Amino acid sequence: MVFSFSQRKALSIIPHITGALSVIGSLSILYDILKDRSRKLHRPYYRILLGMSFFDVFASASLGMSTLPIPKGTEGVYGAMGTTQTCTAQGFFIQLMLVSPFYNLMLAWYYLLLGKNKPLSEEAIASKYEKYMHAFAMIPVLFAVMGLPLTLYNSADCECR
């Protein structure tokens, strides 16, 4: 689909607003957890939420950059001011965005363990399952890193992927 100049401009500008709002939301969650860390970080729920929000800050900031990291002079891209390196960095952090849904899945698993059939205590979940939850949520980090030497992150219209 071919977009008009005004459509390309809107597609470039809107993510600046939504990305900033998402960063603010994720930082608010991080602040809420860390301000009362002596109580909250003893529970697996908050540690999972902390991991999800931490990675979401980077993903939201990367998406919020929109077309800015795309190499300057890229044809048909409004607001491109970057270089190949900035595009690669944005693509890497956008790939890290997949950590958040993985953590969301771990949060669902946590609640399943907490309340289905034979409910487990938070201490049992923490000792038996939590390390596997965090390890599973980190799988996208491996793929993001693997994309760097393979130079898989390039301009894709509205952001680098």
Q: Residues 33, 49: contact at Cβ < 8 Å?
A: yes
Give, for all 161 residues of the chain, the pLDDT tens digit: 688 889 989 999 999 999 999 999 999 999 999 999 999 999 999 999 999 999 999 999 999 999 999 999 888 888 999 999 999 999 999 999 999 999 999 999 999 999 877 789 999 999 999 999 999 999 999 999 999 999 888 866 677 77
Output the six-digit token pair for 22.
Answer: 């998402």
| Alpha-carbon span 86 to 154, nearest angstrom | 10
Helical ranges in the chain per DSSP H: 5-35, 37-40, 44-64, 84-95, 99-115, 122-128, 130-137, 139-147
pLDDT given at position 160: 79
Longest dimension (CA), the chain: 60
pTM, to two decimals: 0.89
